[in-house]
Amino acid sequence: MRIIGGQKGGISIQAPANLPVRPTTDRAKESLFNILQNKFDFESLTVLELFAGTGNISYEFASRGAKRVLSVDKDAGCVMFMKQMVKKLDFETMEVRKQDTFTFLNQCHESFDIIFGDAPYALPRINELPSLIFEKGLLKENGLLILEHGSLLKLDGHTRFKESRHYGQSTFTFFV
């Protein structure tokens, strides 16, 4: 994987093979950030990445100058890798937290401009995420929730659903 744009654009990142992750493809990530760059001033954003894994999406926001990026994952190996990369890439605005996503969301008292979640595709509770995030008020006004999931899963029944974009076996579903 590589960082697509921003200050660290073009840098390749090689995650350890033993991490339990499925990083967002460069093609899908580039398409996502093309959408986002037309809607947001990255330097003013506070971003939360749930099920962060390698931190792939978080690095992209940090490279583009996001004001704050918080990455949450429960896997110790993933957290250790992300912390090493934060130091290596000198991402001062990026924080990594080891915690279960649902526990984090239930305890969180902050709000964010963008929340991105890339749960394991087989996670049966993916469809609970939009309701939990909106009920807890975790998105700022005009904020955006983006969930990456398998293309067979449909999340368009939620009242805050805006649109879905398909990229091979992956789909980004947007909620406002």
Residues belonging to the chain: 176
> Does residue 149 lie in a domain region?
yes
Least confidently predicted of 34-38, 45-49, 67-71: 34-38
Domain count, the chain: 1
> Does residue 96 lie in a domain region?
yes
- For residues 8-22, average pLDDT: 92
Output the pTM of the full model.
0.96
Query: Which residues in 25-168 belong to E strands, given as ranges?
Result: 46-50, 68-73, 94-98, 112-117, 139-150, 161-167
Written as one string, the DSSP assignment of 33-71 is: HHHHHTT--GGG-EEEEES-TT-HHHHHHHHTT-SEEEE
> Does residue 9 lie in a domain region?
no
Binned at pLDDT 50, 70 and 90, residue 26 comes out as confident
Binned at pLDDT 50, 70 and 90, residue 171 comes out as very high
> Does residue 42 lie in a domain region?
yes
Q: What is the pLDDT of residue 141?
A: 93
Binned at pLDDT 50, 70 and 90, residue 5 comes out as very high
Range of the domain at 131: 26-175
CATH code for the domain in which residue 130 is found? 3.40.50.150
> Does residue 5 lie in a domain region?
no
Nearest to 45, CA basis, from 120, 122, 136, 143: 143
> Does residue 17 lie in a domain region?
no
> Does residue 19 lie in a domain region?
no
Q: In percent, how much of the chain has pLDDT > 90?
A: 86
Q: What is the pLDDT of residue 169?
A: 87
